[in-house]
Amino acid sequence: MKYIEEFQDPELARRLLDDIHATVTRPWALMEVCGGQTHTIIRHGIDQLLPDQVELIHGPGCPVCVTPLEVIDKALEIASRPDVIFCSFGDMLRVPGTGRDLFQVRSEGGDVRVVYSPLDALKIARQNPGKEVVFFGIGFETTAPPNAMTVHQARKLGIRNFSLLVSHVRVPPAIEAIMQSPSCRVQGFLAAGHVCSVMGMGEYPGLAARHRVPIVVTGFEPLDILEGVRHAVRQLERGEHTVDNAYARAVRPEGNPAAIAMLEDVFEVTDRAWRGIGVIPDSGWRLSERYREHDAEHRFSVTDITTREPAECRSGEVLQGLIKPNQCEAFGTTCTPRNPLGATMVSSEGACAAYYLYRRLDLTPVRATDPIARTAPLEASPVV
Amino acid sequence: MCLAVPGRVVEIAEENGTRMATVDFGGVVKEVCLEYLPDLQVGEYAIVHVGFALQRLDEESAKQTLELFAQLGMLQEEFGDPWEQAAEAGGAPWPFEDDESDTVADPAVVGPVDGGHVSREARQ
Ligand code: SF4
């Protein structure tokens, strides 16, 4: 248990772990949906502290990673236009499109700006009436309401030179798609806590009952993850499949009704393509008809996009939990954070980046039952 | 970017008909929209994501989370200079080559902050 001293409350961590060890009698595979949770797990070696029978499968919950290549390429094209100020969150700067990224667009003279909040982009629009200001609206249910409010404000204040390039995604349809896949091994979910802070838990009981999987709403901190695993393992051992809230300090069952109302006003549900995965029905939002004038895709008819994914990138499989990042041949060799082939190596929440930053330094033997054991990229690492 | 950080409301003001607050995230101060938590008061804590307060949080959990995020360098990731971070990620040496490395990946880096920018010196 070499990592446990790094926990905020090592004593509590130990108690939770003991409880999990005492409860588990059979192998179980749990998926943590959110990329932030994946990072916590890898950073703290939580997967290695758990009993051998509990396998954590990394889910698709990284908005940067799942933004389709086509949308990235549209962003790059819009950002290159001389009349445009393109605003984005910092995480998108180095996500590879076909051939380049936003960082390069700026070095080629594009006016790309990073904002902390979408409201900052709206402010830029107001200060630059002669320019078109476009905000890159990506993210899950946590980020969509702020973007919805910003578009609503733009309309209310009559700011017409502001538009949103929308690529929002929704978690429950992704869980549905994962459960329907014939290769699915997931037996329980640690749901993304902050998504539930906004949306509440209303969509989950149906999913849990339909697929007979426990769903535990889980936070992001190391102890939260252990608590989430403990709830999920208990349910599985008892043959239960309900929805538990292990993140009650931040999640109310009803979520944030004001945010949900705004979301439903500004956006409408649509099918959306997930990078590396493909189209998932009803898994996204687009601007509703009433807000069409603020839709960047509508405003800039970006056509002739030919996308090209690097053939060796297996991020689709990583995002679906079918392989672990270091089972990809390119991992740590032709694909590194400096020269990323896929978005999962770039994003601060990407699984490949998490493995690159933390796991390669860990030289403890990998369990024989763990699929990671089949590849041994550790020897190839430049640091060892 | 899905990281939501707890912060404490320092001041509340109306701006263009929108309820806004000044929020303190363990030293970094930012403008935050309160439209989704309109009854949040000065002194209370909330989870804030991309400039919007999304859910109330009790003081103790908020402080614990902030402390942890600071330890792990996550406040730096959230509030540091994104261009600098992207450049470092794109051109910096392997982050663990030596202990002096100054990258966002270094879990030990976060220090005094001013005006939302965490200075390089503070991270040494
Ligand atoms: S290691 Fe790189 S190439 Fe392989 S799946 Fe991850 S991002 Fe793609």
Q: Is residue A282 a contact partner of residue A270, using CB atoms and an 8 Å limit?
A: yes
pLDDT tens digits, A142-185: 999 999 999 999 999 999 999 999 999 999 999 999 999 888 99
Please tell me if the CB atom of residue A318 comes closer than 6 angstroms to any atom of ligand 1: yes
% of chain A exceeding 90 in pLDDT:
76
Stretch 23-62 of chain B: residues touching chain A, C-beta under 8 Å: 30-33, 35-38, 47, 49-52, 54-55, 57-58, 61
Residue of A95, A341, A349, A360 with the most ligand 1 atoms within 8 Å of its CB, for mutation: A341
Flag whether the ipTM exceeds 0.90.
Answer: no
pTM across the whole model: 0.86
A–B interface: beta-carbon pairs under 8 A = 136
- Give pLDDT, residue B1: 60
pLDDT of res. B82: 75
Ligand 1, atom 3, lies closest to the CA of A313
Query: Using CA atoms, how far apart are residues B44 and A174, in angstroms rounded to an integer?
Result: 34
**Model confidence pLDDT, tens digit, residues A270-302:** 999 998 888 999 999 999 999 999 999 999 988
* Shortest Cα–Cα distance, B7 to chain A (Å): 13
Three-class SS of chain A:
CCCHHHCCCHHHHHHHHHHHHHHCCCCEEEEEEEHHHHHHHHHCCHHHHCCCCEEEEEEEECHHHHCCHHHHHHHHHHHCCCCEEEEECHHHCCCCCCCCCHHHHHHCCCEEEECCCHHHHHHHHHHCCCCEEEEEEEECCCCHHHHHHHHHHHHHCCCCCEEEEEEEECHHHHHHHHHHCCCCCCCEEEEEHHHHHHHCCCCHHHHHHHHCCCEEEECCCHHHHHHHHHHHHHHHHHCCCCEEECCCCCCCCCCCHHHHHHHHHHEEEEEEEECCCEEEEEEEEEECHHHHHHEHHHHCCCCCCCCCCCCCCCHHHHHCCCCCHHHCCCECCCECCCCCCCHHHCCCCCHHHHHHHCHHHCCCCCCCCCHHHHCCHHHHCCCC
Pocket test for ligand 1, best of A72, A335, A346 (most atoms within 8 A of CB): A335
Q: Quote the ligand 1 centre to B116 CA distance (angstroms).
A: 33
pLDDT per residue as tens digits for the range A226-268: 999 999 999 999 999 999 999 999 999 999 999 999 999 999 9
Kindly report the number of other CB atoms within 10 A of residue A373's CB atom. 13
The tokens for A71 are 């949308």
From chain B residues 65-104, the ones with a CB under 8 A of any chain A CB are: 65, 67-68, 72, 77, 79, 82-83, 85-87, 89-92, 94-97, 104
Taking a C-beta distance cutoff of 8 angstroms, is the pair B72, B119 a contact?
no
CB pair distance less than 8 Å for A197 and B54: yes
Tokens of A277: 């995965």
